[in-house]
């Protein structure tokens, strides 16, 4: 009887040790898994925004061009209608991976010059990433800004891609297509004419 009690106690102790080890392993492994998942999500988001920016630039320069994309990582997408030059992509992660909160600044993604105006020949867009804490998760915001490019030689001009929201009935699918071209006299940053190329955007 005493031997049976010892065996039962031993099983309970072993089970307790195994559960404790499993719990410790879970606590140690989960942050690593979350970091890998977050890194994958951010890499997917970066790839998506770069593909989208390439499509927008192609649509600006190519008649009859159209392309559609599904928004990845369960994110949402929108056009900032206050300037019609910014696309905002938001998604949540379990780890921040970048500095968040007070004192944090947007991190450039595949971008060198973050000035709103550049010189002709530079990239017509820049992309940034920033994050904020929302409880036990982080809201990541990736922005693509379409900036004006100016010429350095006469006749001085400025060139910019403008987004024209055709419809915004959702936030998970985005389509871009070639629009039209408009010229605003003497409205470029350098004082010359501003050539605006319209790209139609539909979000559903």
Report pLDDT digits (tens) over 4-13: 454 555 555 5
Q: Quick one: which H or E segment has residue 38?
A: helix 2-61
Q: Quick one: which H or E segment has residue 39?
A: helix 2-61
Report pLDDT digits (tens) over 116-132: 999 999 999 999 999 99
In angstroms, how far is CA 75 from the centroid of its own chain?
9
pLDDT attached to residue 26: 44
Report pLDDT digits (tens) over 182-192: 999 999 999 99
- C-alpha closest to that of 91 among 153, 171, 19: 171
- Please say whether the beta carbons of 194 and 157 come within 8 A: yes
Give the predicted TM-score (pTM) of the model: 0.83
The side-by-side arrangement of strands in the sheet containing 137-146 is 76-80, 86-93, 137-146, 125-134, 107-109
């Amino acid at each position: 009887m005493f031997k049976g009690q010892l065996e039962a106690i031993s099983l309970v102790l072993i089970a307790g040790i195994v559960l404790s080890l499993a719990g410790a392993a879970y606590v140690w492994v989960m942050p690593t898994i979350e970091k890998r998942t977050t890194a994958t999500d951010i890499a997917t988001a970066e790839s998506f925004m770069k593909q989208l920016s390439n499509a927008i630039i192609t649509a600006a320069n190519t008649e009859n061009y159209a392309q559609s994309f599904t928004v990845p990582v369960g994110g949402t997408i929108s056009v900032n209608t206050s300037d019609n030059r910014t696309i905002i992509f938001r998604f949540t992660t379990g780890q921040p991976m970048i500095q968040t909160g007070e004192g944090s600044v947007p991190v450039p993604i595949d971008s060198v010059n973050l000035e709103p105006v550049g010189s002709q020949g530079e990239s017509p867009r820049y992309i940034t990433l920033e994050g904020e804490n929302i409880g036990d998760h982080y809201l990541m915001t990736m922005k693509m800004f379409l900036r004006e490019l100016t010429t350095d030689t006469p006749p001085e001009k400025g060139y910019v891609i403008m987004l024209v929201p055709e419809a915004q009935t959702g936030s998970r699918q985005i389509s871009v297509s070639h629009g039209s071209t408009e010229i605003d006299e003497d409205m470029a940053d350098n004082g010359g004419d501003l050539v605006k190329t319209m790209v139609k955007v539909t979000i559903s």
